[in-house]
Amino acid sequence: MIKAGIIGGAGYTAGELIRLLINHPEVEIKFVNSSSNAGNKITDVHEGLYGETDLVFTDELPLDEIDVLFFCTAHGDTKKFMDSHNVPEDLKIIDLSMDYRIKSNDHDFIYGLPELNRRAICHSKHVANPGCFATCIQLGLLPLAKHLLLNEDVMVNAITGSTAPFIVIETDILFKGIPSNKTFIFSIEQIDTPALPTSPTTRSLSASYPR
């Protein structure tokens, strides 16, 4: 049985993750951390899980009791945590934020798109979960790239809402405050395969936010 912990348990991303894990026959959730909801039932926040779990939020971090730690935190918080805490060396970490999606000599996180990096993910201790835009674009274009069918620029019009992974309303995810986020483009450009289009193609990608 794989023992899992979750940090940032009150957000929408965590709610979906909890639903997946409590229905996984080989996973046991040991804790769901949320400092603002400590002591409250998971279902007080994630109402769709009523009848599925009796778990309670905690502000504790018993990292020595788990095999894998999921970060469902706001962008930037995972890196702050990793820099300020003594994380067990053998602990598997899966980060759902964008902190480690871009390949760098400063970390050893693997880009966690299983259709592309399945073998590397299986053998890595640190996995960075891809973002929504990068995932939908890559899953659509990678089969074409594999068969060398991308011979010119591709225009991708991707549309999103503004909930992001959070429950609490933040000014930077309101319509007027949504920034131009180029992380998903960098995520695509870093893929190391000669079959993928070159930079002129990736520069033609765009994201649209409903107004």
CA dist., res. 58 & res. 177, Å (int): 31
Q: Are 125 and 209 in contact (CB under 8 A)?
A: no
Distances (CA, A) of 204 to 13, 136, 178: 29, 15, 20
Task: Show the tokens assigned to 126.
Answer: 């640190």
Q: Is 119 left (phi over 0), alpha (psi -120 to 50) or beta?
A: alpha
Task: Show the tokens assigned to 61.
Answer: 């971090």
Task: DSSP letter for 33, please.
Answer: E
Rounded to a whole number of angstroms, the distance between the first and last alpha carbons of the chain is 46
Partners of 31 in the β-ladder: 5
Active site (catalytic) residues: 132
